[in-house]
Structure formats: C-alpha cells, structure tokens
Structure 1
Amino acid sequence: MFMQFLSKNVAIAAPNISYPFTIWDIILWIGIGSLSVIGSHTYLVWYGSGTWYGHPTILSLKQIIMESVSDLRSPSSTSTSLSNGAPNVAMKALISSINAEYQRSDKFVAGQGSLSTNWPGRRFVITDSWILASRFTEFKVVKQSSENMLAIVASAFSVLDPSSLTQGGQPDGESLGVQTIVTVRFIRTDTGVCLLSFGLPASNLDELRSKLRFPLIQSQGVHLEPTIIQRFIEAFTQVVDENQIVELPVNYDLEQCIGCMVQQANVTLNRQCESSLSSPSVVNNDQSLEGNQCGICYCRPLWCLECLARWFASRQTNNHRPPTEWLSGRVPCPTCRTYFCARDVSRLVVAQQQSD
C-alpha cells in the first residue's frame, strides 16, 4: 500500500523521468575507450619497432652524438646509421657512459617529490659530464660544456617547510621552518636557448656549483640571504681555525666523511677546553653537570668540518636552544657520544715525508 502511494507521488512530481544515459552516450564512451587503447598500442609499437628511435630521449641522445662526432665521420652518415633499427656502437657507448657516472656516489641529486620540485615525481641529477632531468613523461639529457653553457639563478621564493618542524610544531633543522626555493636555468650562451629549468633549495647551490663545469651566477634582482645554519658554519669554522692543529703521521690514509661521502675527513676531537671549571649555570635543565662536561674522544677521524658543524647545530636545535647560544654549547660525538665543544675540534694535517 505504501509503495503504491509512493509510486503515484513520484509519477506526479516527475512525470518525464528518463534513463540517465541514452544508447548513443554508451556508444560514444565505448568508442573513446577503444580509440584510446588502439592509439596507445600503436604508439608503443611505433616506438618499439625501431628500437625506440622516435622517442624524444633517443632523439636527444642522437643529437648529442651528432654534435660530438669526429671529423672522420660526417654528421649525415651518423644520422643515417642512427635512424635504422640496427644497434649503434656510438649510442651504446653514450648510454654506458651515462649509466657509469649515474651509479657513482658523488653525483648531485635533487628532487624525489619534496619541496625542491615544482610538483611530485621530478628528479634532477648532475654527474661529472651530464645533467639529467626526469619528469612523469619526459627524461632529458644535457651534456655539460665549459665553453657554451651557463647556469643562472633566475628567481627565489620562500615556502613553509613542514619537514623542518617537530611533532610539537617547533622549528627544527637547517631551514628552521622556512625553505628558500630557487629556480636554476641552464642556457647555451651561443644561442641563448634555455636547455633546462629546475627548482631546488637554496642550501644546495654550493653543492650544485661544485659539480658544474660552467659558471653559476645570480640574475639581477635575486638576493639570497644565508641561512642560520650557513652563518653558524662560518662562525664555527672561525673558532676551529683558532684551535690547535693535529698533525698525523706520514702517509696516513684519511677516510671519506661519513656525513657527505664527498670530502675527506679533515677534523678530529681533541679536548682543549677546561669544561670542569664551567659554572653550573651553563648546563641545560635536562642534563647534569657531569654529563655536560667535555670528555676525551678516541674515535678515528670520520667527519669533515662542515658536516660536523651541521651535526653540532642540529643537536642545538633539538634542545631548543636559541641560535645566539649555539657556539657556546656542548653536544655528544656522533660516534661515541662523548661531549665536546667548538674548542675541542681541531683540523688535521698529514705530515710531509722529508727527503734525504
């Protein structure tokens, strides 16, 4: 009885009810789906039938080979050999060279879907000879050249960095809550063409500059202020330069810094301060006087000065100390947890072998 009453009311309220889709709508959607599948299959078969010779990445690699071809072989013959489906020796050698440099640990990497990218999924790698940039549907290869290339910092802007905040919302890390992102453009000086543009944190510019074979300059109007950590590293370095130098035996083999794996270890912990004479007022509230005293570290040299300074600053931010008190603080050794201060850090010098 209720259903009969409901059906009558529905019929009166909406007498012209029709199906949401007509037969032509269904045919249209089936046609679009079929064309998409057929088009994708044709696209892949067209690329794969010629060893992907029509792919933009392969075309860019062919262009690199043609630009660096020797005088014994004309560019036209090189283009002909690369356009067929047969394996090409030059192409294989080029790909092997890129793979070999990419597998090295000293390459510069930015991206991986963090604040250093304009959107997730981008990756930017620089090796000794190559600049590699990947996006969702594109992989671009640029060969470094010291003759006709230039890198320009085109713009800079600041964003909130959630990764530098603790669970309690306190700023932590190098950026202390704010990250400066710069846009770097790689330009050919002979043509003025922008080969590549990428965004990365301003704190990575020094490492980027060390991997480039050409200059990295700032455009007019772009001013980059050093971060708090960078200013602390400069002050920390000045204090270390005033400390006593530790001389190592002849032919002492220094290891790579375990913090960056780029520079050699160049500092060691050598107690030089008199922490036992410190007053209790310099001790943190959550630490005892005994635990806050500088001790003797027996670890072998494992860190470079910059990485040790970053470790020193990170421990200060974890304790929520103001930056004005960082340089006078004490932190545990990264390896043995023995406390040390800036006066206990000494540069290393390997003794020279005296000739007869």
Structure 2
Amino acid sequence: MLYAYTLLFIGAALMEVMGMIPQEMKSAGITIEALFSKYFGDEDMHFIYYHIRRTTLITILHCCIPLLYCLGLNWVEPDLSEFIPVELVWLLVIVSVVMALIGCALGYWWHRNKWANHPIAVSLASYNQSWRDVAANINLEYRRIEKFVNNLGCNTVIVTESWIIKTGVHTVSVGHQRSSHLVVSKTEEHHLSMEGPTTSQYLTILVNCVDSSSFSIRLNALQYGELKEKLQAPLREARGVIIRQSLGDQFIVAFEKQVEQNGYYDLPSSSPQPESCIGCLQVMSDVKLCKMCADDTDGECRQCFCRPMWCLSCMAKWFASRQDQRRPEEWLMGVAPCPMCRSQFCALDVLRVRTSNNVQA
C-alpha cells in the first residue's frame, strides 16, 4: 500500500508541477485555475494581475506538495516505523515543513508593496516606467480581439499589437515588440500516427529582448504564418532551419506556378477596371476564368463569363476547398465550379488579368 501510494502521488505531483493535466480533469474543472478562479479574478479584464495571483498561489501550493505527501503517509500507513527508519521519517517531515514555509514566505514577499516584488512586476519595471502603467497597457491590448493566441501544452503564447507574451505554470515572460527580435532556432518533427507517414512540425523561436530577459516560444508550424501576420518585431530563420509549409500553402504555390504558365487575359479597354477581391478585400482582383484546356464541347470545363472578381490566392484556396481532401496529390488535376456562376474550370483555365495600364507600363 505504501509503495502504491508513493508512486501514485509522485505521478500526480509531476503532472501538476509540469502542467500536464489531463483534458478530462480540465473539462471537469479539477484544476487550480478553476478551483481558485474567484481569487485570481478575470483574466480577460486584468490579465497581468490574474497571472500574478495565479503564479503566486501555484508556487505556494507546489512548495507544500512534500508536506501533503507526509500527511497522506500518516493516513495510508499509520505505523511507518515498520517500513522506514524513524530518523528518515523525521527528516522528511522537517524538509517538507521547511519547503512549505519557504513557499509561504516567498508568496508573502511577492505580495508586499501591492505585488511590486513579484517577478512579473519586476520584469515590467525594466521598461523604465511604472510597472503598473505597463500592466495597464498589456491588459488593454489583451482585451482586444485582434491578437494571436496559441496554446501548446502548459504554455500559452500571446502576441498583441505591442507585446509578445508567454505564460507558463510558474512564470510569465513579456517582451516589447519594438525592442525585440525573433529567431527560428530549431524545428522538430513528430509523428502523429504509428501507422502512417503523417507528421507535425514544431518550431522553437527565440525572443531576444533588449529591455528584459529573453525567452523562447514553441508552436506548430501551421500557426507560423498567422504569427508572422501579428508580429511587428523582425523575425528571421537560423541557417539550416527549414519550415515545412502546410498542405494548403504548398498547393497555393503549385497553383500559382501553373497559372503563371497559362498566359494572360487582356482586359478590354471598355471593360470596368478590376476592383478589390471579394474573397479577401485586401488586394485587387487579378484572375479571369477562360476555357483553355480543350474545345468548347470537350471535357468537364465550361466557359465562364464572369468579370474578374477574385485574386489568385483566393482562387487557389477556393479551388483546393472543392477537391477530395483525402487525395491532395490529385488536387491540381481536378476541376471546381466558378465561385459566382458555377461553371466548371480547371487550373489551366485560370489566367492573369492584364489591363491596358499594365501593357503601357
């Protein structure tokens, strides 16, 4: 019984300290964050103060783990002297009590001066202004919808307009985008299935901060493009690092290469000039569907009479979404309906639009 209790306790303690809580327990609300949510406050409204309280309480509770083990020992095996020497039992009790006292003292020290001694507050104070003003700025930006959030294991990476933040079990690292530069230092390949070649790539990115301590973040390569869109800080890749594109990104590149070989569609001078792409509203529409692959009566493709309304990237995404997702190797040879009139087209029917202004230039 004693050995079984010890093994179970050590396993549960390691899972808690390392943040490897099973999803079932999280769903059931059996976590420190869920149990003490009223004490921590609202993370969306007071992000910094939430994590100051969270890391403080978690540090204290983790320092009390050996003491909890000793209390459980007395319940599991009242007569420990039959299994463990008395001197060793007392040593274990003394060490456990000392660790618990150290955790409580550390929490008390951090709480003094209204949390000014907490490591998070000390880190924010390195920006040459009141740490509360910096915290207020981070809290304000965190409330906005336009931010990048990525959860991986026990760590969460958050990128707001001005800040790069990494939250862990015991720590929160913060870097200002204007005084930081990022380097993709390492990639890792993990097999998702033992029965097939499916793999997932993970990136380790170093965040080098001028005003505060540097730290590293880790994320799936599929979120790399989204991260870059939110970053204002420079981001480069270390020599030898190869970031594998997602399947969709690879197809867009192949689709665009095929379109570049198809030629151009010369827009008549009497036709209206292209407007913004109705798919993304970010760039001008620059492709036209024209049946080029066979005679008018041959094949599945049909002539499309819609005016240019889509950009090449959005058209590639539309085309990919209409293919058999189980056979990506056949996507480029497939057909898809026009987004507007539903006329069938293939990759050979997509032409770049060339206006009279382009020709003159």
Judged with a 3 Å threshold, the aligned counterparts in structure 2 of structure 1 residues 136 and 256 are, in CA distance, closer, same or farther, namely farther
Residues 102 and 56 of structure 1: is their aligned pair in 2 closer, same or farther, counting only changes over 3 Å? same
Alpha-carbon distance, 1:310 to partner: 4.0
Letter in 1 for 2:132: M
Letter in 2 for 1:156: T
Quote the residue 2:141 is aligned against: 101
1:57 counterpart residue number: 120
Letter in 2 for 1:330: V
1:138 corresponds to 2:171: yes
Question: Matches of 1:184 and 1:197 in 2, distance apart?
Answer: 6
Shift in Å, 1:195: 0.6
State the match for 2:191 in structure 1: 160
CA distance in 2 between partners of 1:250 and 1:102 (Å):
41
SS in structure 1 of the partner of residue 332 of structure 2: coil
- The equivalent residue for 2:156 is 123
Match of 1:217 among 233, 236, 248: 236
Alignment of 1:1-356 (within 5 A): 20-22=77-79, 44-64=107-127, 66=128, 91-92=132-133, 94-109=134-149, 111-113=150-152, 120-145=153-178, 149-161=180-192, 177-188=198-209, 195-224=214-243, 226=245, 229-240=248-259, 242-244=263-265, 257=280, 264=282, 266-267=284-285, 270-273=288-291, 293=301, 305-306=312-313, 308-322=315-329, 325-332=330-337, 339-343=344-348
Deviation at 1:187, TM superposition (A): 2.3
Task: Give the Cα–Cα distance (whole angstroms) in 1 for the partners of residues 340 and 158 of structure 2.
Answer: 31
CA contact (8 A) 2:205 2:218 kept: yes
Cα distance in 2 for residues equivalent to 1:208 and 1:348: 31
Shift of 1:185: 0.9
Contact 1:270 1:297 (C-alpha < 8 Å) held by counterparts: no
1:294-346, Cα deviation, whole Å (9 max, x unpaired): 58698996x76445534533543525252xx3223123567997754335657
Alignment match, 2:66: none
Partners of 2:184 and 2:118 in 1: CA distance: 30
Alignment partners' CA distance in 2, 1:335 and 1:47: 61
Q: Which amino acid aligns with 2:183?
A: I
Q: Structure 1 residues 20 and 226, CA, compared in 2 at 3 Å: closer, same or farther?
A: closer
TM-score (norm 2): 0.55
Structure 2 CA distance, aligned partners of 1:62 and 1:346? 56
Q: Contact 2:290–2:304 (CA<8 Å) still a contact in 1?
A: no
d(CA) in 1 for partners of 2:170, 2:304 = 55
Is contact 1:266-1:347 (8 Å) kept? Answer: no
Report the alpha carbon displacement of residue 139 of structure 1 after superposing the two structures with TM: 1.7
- TM-fit CA distance, 1:142: 0.3
The alpha carbon displacement at 1:21 in A equals 2.6
Deviations 1:38-93 (A, max 9, x none): 766665554445332222221111112x1xx5xxxxxxxxxxxx5xxxxxxx723x
Structure 1 gaps of 5+ residues are 1-18, 70-81, 83-89, 114-119, 172-176, 258-262, 283-291
Instruction: Deviation per CA, 1:74-122: give whole Å up to 9, x if none.
Output: xxxxxxxx5xxxxxxx723x3343234334444333x323xxxxxx121
Rg (Cα) greater in structure:
1
In 2: Cα distance, 1:256 partner to 1:150 partner: 33
The corresponding residue for 2:28 is: none
Q: Distance in 2 between matches of 1:38 and 1:197?
A: 32
Q: Name the aligned partner's letter for residue 22 of structure 1.
A: D
Compute the displacement of 1:201 (Å). 2.9
Indicate conservation of the 8 Å contact 2:255/2:316, yes or no.
Answer: yes
Q: In proportion to residue count, which structure has more helix?
A: 2
Identify if the C-alpha distance between structure 1 residues 238 and 42 changes in structure 2 by more than 3 Å, giving closer, same or farther. Answer: same
Kept in 2, the 8 Å contact 1:266–1:348? The answer is: no
Contact preservation (8 Å) 2:204, 2:218: yes
Unaligned runs of 5+ in 2: 1-75
> Which range moved further: 128-137 or 339-348?
339-348
TM-score by length of 1: 0.55
| 3-state secondary structure, aligned to 1:244 | strand
RCO (CA 8 Å, sep 6+): is it higher in 1 or 2? 1
Number of equivalenced pairs: 272
Letter in 1 for 2:282: Q
Confirm or deny: 8 A CA contact 2:264 2:353 kept in the other structure: no
Distance in 2 (alpha carbons) for counterparts of 1:137 and 1:220: 32
